[in-house]
Structure 1
């Protein structure tokens, strides 16, 4: 309703056309009565002509008014549906990642598509039918009462028998419709998940298993839809039966009144036409009521997305960050547990100061809390205790848009969108000039392969950049970060899965990107962070050691063990180091395989 009320002009146009069409329709039975009572005689031939001329004028007026009503209502429905889609998607973009950990992406997409489509059908078609039949029912009921008060009073006795089942079954249909839409969303969620991982599905020969699982999900959706359809069918049958049965009964009594001379045949015909209009309107409303209940179920699901609020609260009057930006980062006694894993501490009394322009590497085993540092610095979550500050301002007090503009993020799993190369590079600066985009691509060693594409920077990339190699995607993401030109760089090391040539190009691009910036890098391969100003060794959510590569190796401890493990594994032992014939043979075979590789 709030969305509909945004467009009072279109609502007024639809209402005026609706009233005109209703008046024209309700005037037709009056012409029929005049024709039957006064027109069938040679003396009143001119009256018959006048009556039929009036009926023709009414028919034309009814057609024009109905077309106008359809135009306004349908256009209004399309407009409101577009606003609804935009509003839901816009609100989704504002929600924190925590929301998407509990709601599957496929289900959200189902709500954006299937549910909004259902609402659109109701607003553009069913709403028009509902308004028309509501006005016709009310108008015909009034005219029937004026035409034959006694017969109308008897019809009123049947109204509760019609309305009460309509309300009762309507509530049942609404609940069943919600369940049907939920099961339909399950099918979309499962299909989306399987298709996004199609290579994994096929490589593990999982097609047959997933096909069976999807059949089961679809079958559950069918069962839910069948229950909903069955309830609607019962509701329609009851309403139509009661409505027309009441007409037949009243018509019988009216016929007896005509025989007794208490009523003319024309009056009875006029009343019967009004009664038929009432009955058909009620029957149409009963069907439309079921569709409205379906739309209500869809609207509930959409409302959950439209009115969902982010767990990350933004102050009404946020604190402004200092200008120019310094690139200072500070964690002060931070405690954090992920909402879905409250029993495990991701960070425990974690404190870290990163000076402007300093390069700090975070190393440690899986689950040490390295990625959590990035998540909190981008304020995807808020810590349960302690503070996270950028340029001296607590992130809880700042506007997220403000401090995120000061951060560029290069993830390990590259994110490339299915738009053009230009739009991908300019993702963080949509207003960047062509020269700036090209300069960023050249600095990231991406210009060469981009220029070889069919349409250069206008080339459209496939979904998630599937047309690019891993190294090309990484260089494109680095170009995006270069163009962003943010004082703080978060780098989740992205070279571990690349071949030697691509790694060399990406590493050179990263060094250019890191120059003059505050850099936090998550290091999976220690060989890439030996030049860091400071290395932070993390374990179980805390800092266990820090220093330079050389000092930490000399100190031993966790970093020393990690360094020894990585560097020793990277150097294959010579056969001369072995002491037994068996190990000599094993070493020779391994050396030959290593050389061939």
Structure 2
């Protein structure tokens, strides 16, 4: 029984994503160029450890001209990367805001087409909450999260490839934590999504109570019910706060566990890599490159963890 439910949930997630990205049709060109800019920016970032490795090994040659050339090339790489970072940020944010604007209009038009029965069972505050806070959650996925996903995805895959090229033994040692990360993502992702749905529902109910009281403020005042309405609203807000605290707890445990795993792997790499340098199997420059790529992998995994949580919250909305 469990397996079909999970499959159904995955199909539902894919259907929601297809519907969401259906709104990107008008902005497809901007999104494509934005994604390409993010990929190029990440690829340029992967060059940095190569320069650091060369920089460390150049100390042995005592050639100041080689050192100057290395630094000048590195500055040129950073300048080019800055240009593509600008294009990535501008294009994906503009297209993301356009998608969200179209989504709001479409949702509002859909609401107006619904039957009276729907509005009889839903309060105005709850409906307006869906138009504001829920779509705000989606905005982050369409604009910022998409850029980060491409950026960190290229960084993660590129770093792992270059790690294998540098030293495959150290790479396998570093990748030993990957199964732990996958299992943690599966477990905590479901928890965060379920709690996020509950949080959005509690906020919608609180807004519905507020809208009801404000629209009938004359009745509230005539019955001197200000304290009662304030307490009723506060009750709902406190419920949402308790839910948010629970979500923060799961998110904190998730992120802390992932970072501990990744940086423990970095420590093991430093220990084993140091032994390889002492034995002459690799140079100090090679170890420097490897450590930087390992840190890139750890950073990319950490960013992916945050994106996964954000994605689950958006689906929960």
For residues 64-103 of structure 1, the C-alpha deviation after alignment (integer angstroms, 9 at most, x for no partner) is: 1111111111112101111110111011111111111122
Whether 2:64 is the aligned partner of 1:41: answer no
Distance 1:188 1:285, change over 3 A: same
Find 1:29's aligned residue among 46, 49, 59.
49
Partner of 1:63 in structure 2? 82
Find 1:114's aligned residue among 118, 123, 133.
133
- What SS does the aligned partner of 1:3 have? helix
- For 1:41 and 1:154, the matched residues in 2 are separated by 32
- For 2:35 and 2:308, the matched residues in 1 are separated by 20
Gapped regions of structure 2 (runs ≥ 5): 1-20
Contact 1:24–1:58 at 8 Å: present in 2 too?
yes
Whether 2:290 is the aligned partner of 1:258: answer no
- For 2:188 and 2:174, the matched residues in 1 are separated by 22
- What SS does the aligned partner of 1:41 have? coil
Whether 2:186 is the aligned partner of 1:161: answer no
- For 1:123 and 1:40, the matched residues in 2 are separated by 49
Q: TM-score, normalised by structure 2?
A: 0.90
Q: How does 1:385-404 map to 2 (within 5 A)?
A: none
> Using CA pairs below 8 Å that are at least 6 residues apart, which structure has the higher relative contact order?
2
For residues 460-489 of structure 1, the C-alpha deviation after alignment (integer angstroms, 9 at most, x for no partner) is: xxxxxxxxxxxxxxxxxxxxxxxxxxxxxx
The alpha-carbon deviation at position 196 of structure 1 amounts to 0.3
- What SS does the aligned partner of 2:282 have? coil
Partner of 1:206 in structure 2? 225
For residues 93-138 of structure 1, the C-alpha deviation after alignment (integer angstroms, 9 at most, x for no partner) is: 1111111112222111000011111222333333322321122111
- For 1:25 and 1:34, the matched residues in 2 are separated by 16
Whether 2:130 is the aligned partner of 1:123: answer no
- For 2:50 and 2:230, the matched residues in 1 are separated by 63
Distance 1:274 1:85, change over 3 A: same
For residues 315-354 of structure 1, the C-alpha deviation after alignment (integer angstroms, 9 at most, x for no partner) is: xxxxxxxxxxxxxxxxxxxxxxxxxxxxxxxxxxxxxxxx
Contact 1:39–1:47 at 8 Å: present in 2 too?
no
Q: TM-score, normalised by structure 1?
A: 0.49
For residues 508-550 of structure 1, the C-alpha deviation after alignment (integer angstroms, 9 at most, x for no partner) is: xxxxxxxxxxxxxxxxxxxxxxxxxxxxxxxxxxxxxxxxxxx
- In the comparison of the two structures, how many residue pairs are matched? 297
Partner of 1:9 in structure 2? 29
The alpha-carbon deviation at position 278 of structure 1 amounts to 0.4
Partner of 1:277 in structure 2? 296
- What SS does the aligned partner of 2:47 have? helix
The alpha-carbon deviation at position 5 of structure 1 amounts to 4.3
Contact 2:49–2:293 at 8 Å: present in 1 too?
yes
Contact 2:39–2:150 at 8 Å: present in 1 too?
no
